[in-house]
Amino acid sequence: MLHGEAGIAESVALLRAGGVVGIPTETVYGLAADAFQPVALARIFEAKDRPLSDPLIVHLPEASWLERVVATRVVADRDLMERLASAFWPGPLSILLPRHPDLPDLVTAGSEWVAVRVTSHPLFQEVIRGLGSPIAAPSANRFGRISPTMAEDVQMELGEVISGILDGGACSHGMESTILALHEGHMEVLRPGPITEDQLIHFGHIVRRERLVNTPGSLLGHYAPGKELHILKKDINQQEIPVNSGVISFRGMEVDVARQFARMEILSPSGDLREAASNFYGALRSLDKSEVDIIFSESLPEEGIGVAIMDRLRRAEYGSKNKYGHHD
């Protein structure tokens, strides 16, 4: 576990030597490697047990680095891209853009598109600048499992198989970046996230399920705990709750309902969806580690970042019941 300025320097040294390092971002912890070292990139896939067909997001410390990884001259939706970049970068938005020809194939899984985002996390920015090279990083969990929002989570997921972990405390958003594809001035949300449709709608039309590009990583069974997870029915009285169950509650439950559960994690007592998102993976992980046999979760309102939370919850439910996810 690496800390402070010395930890940043050590992370840079490890990355330069081709290592893979757990790094905090404003969304979730990433498993970082130099985007231009194919052997280091291969270590990411190996550590996570992730299929090589699943491409990686490339992280930059500022938008002026774009031309290192993107064929900027051939960006068709340049105006839209620039407007989105100035509104949301640095921050939790990844945009699919035409790849630079020099970018290793492992980053894009052979696709002509690369997902790029400018991170706002000060430690991550410092590491990228220190390395002097863009950094490819998926979430720092074993493939298909719960994303880490604390350095300790990365330790538990991957501690044995990676070079180091830079401790930056809790991630502020706690939910992976929104991924966008652009097409003739339109946007397609490939993965809902902290930048919500309400925020994007001001920049153009949002198209649905057009599959302008294929997202190999959009597996139905993802973000899964080891225990079975069930989303509660609206009318909880219609649901059989086994004796030793845990529950994720949005704002808390009435006493007679809560009594049915051995353990409860409350995401946001005040009903704030942003706060709920930042606590979601931690709550799931904590119930998964606890003594309960089975996990239930309330549904959350599907508005704002609630869309992203419900997306993850459904995939986690599916993934907990089916060992291998299927494309949705």
225 binds ligand TXA (CB under 6 A): no
326 close to 221: Cβ distance less than 8 angstroms: yes
- Return the number of the residue (28 or 81) whose C-beta is nearest ligand TXA: 28
Task: Give residues 1-40 in contact with Mg ion (rule: CB under 5 A).
Answer: none
Of the residues 57, 131, 187, 253, which one makes contact with ligand TXA according to CB under 6 A = 57
Q: Site residues for ligand TXA, window 230-249 (CB under 6 A)?
A: none
Question: Taking contact as CB under 5 A, which single stretch among the options 66-74, 132-140, 233-241, 261-269 is the one that binds Mg ion?
Answer: 132-140
In angstroms, the CA 85 to CA 95 distance is: 9
Smaller CB separation from ligand TXA, 215 or 245: 215
From the CB of 169, what's the least distance to ligand TXA, in Å? 16
Contact status, residue 136 vs residue 32, Cβ threshold 8 Å? yes
Among 94, 119, 139, 155, binds Mg ion (CB under 5 A): 139
- Toward ligand TXA, which CB reaches closer, 25 or 245? 25
Pattern 167-196, ligand TXA, x by CB under 6 A: ---------xx-x-----------------
* Least distance CB 35 / ligand TXA (angstroms): 12
Residue 193 has a CB neighbour count (10 Å cut-off) of 24
> Least distance to Mg ion from the beta carbon of 279, Å?
18
**For residues 201 and 93, what is the distance between their CA atoms, to the nearest angstrom?**
14
φ/ψ (deg, to 5) at 144: 85, -5
Which tokens in the block code for residue 297?
A: 């979760």
**Sequence-distant (≥ 6) Cβ neighbours of residue 82 within 8 angstroms:** none
Task: Kindly tell me which residue out of 52, 75, 212, 213 binds ligand TXA, with binding defined by CB under 6 A.
Answer: 213
Q: How many residues does the chain have?
A: 328
What distance in Å separates the CA atoms of residue 115 and residue 22, rounded to the nearest whole number? Answer: 19
The span from the CA of 221 to the CA of 224, in Å, is: 7
Residue 275 lies near ligand TXA (rule: CB under 6 A)? no
Q: Single out the residue of 89, 113, 261, 318 in contact with ligand TXA (rule: CB under 6 A).
A: 113
Specify the stretch interacting with ligand TXA by CB under 6 A; choose among 39-47, 135-143, 269-277, 291-299.
135-143
Could you tell which of Mg ion, ligand TXA, none binds residue 216, using a CB distance below 5 to 8 A set by kind? ligand TXA
> Which lies closer to Mg ion via its Cβ, residue 139 or residue 177?
139
Give the shortest CB-207-to-ligand TXA separation in angstroms.
16
Looking up tokens 């949705």, which residue turns up?
Answer: 328
What DSSP element (H or E) covers 98?
strand 93-98
- In the complex, the smallest distance separating the C-beta of residue 56 from ligand TXA, rounded to whole angstroms, is 6
Q: 209: which residues sit within 8 A by CB, 6+ positions away? A: none
User: 3-class DSSP state for residue 206?
Assistant: strand
Question: Within a 13 Å sphere around the CA of 123, how many CA atoms are in the beta-carbon half?
Answer: 26
Residue 203 contacts residue 84 (beta carbons within 8 Å): yes
Work out whether 139 is an interface residue with ligand TXA (CB under 6 A).
Answer: yes
Out of 7, 80, 81, 94, the only residue in the binding site for ligand TXA (CB under 6 A) is 94
Q: Taking CA 81 as the corner, what is the angle to CA 79 and CA 86, rounded to the nearest 5 degrees? A: 100
d(CA 216, CA 141): 17
Which residues in this chain contact ligand TXA in the complex, by CB under 6 A? 25, 27-28, 30, 54-57, 92, 94, 96, 108, 111, 113-115, 137-139, 176-177, 179, 213, 215-218
Which residues in this chain contact Mg ion in the complex, by CB under 5 A? 139
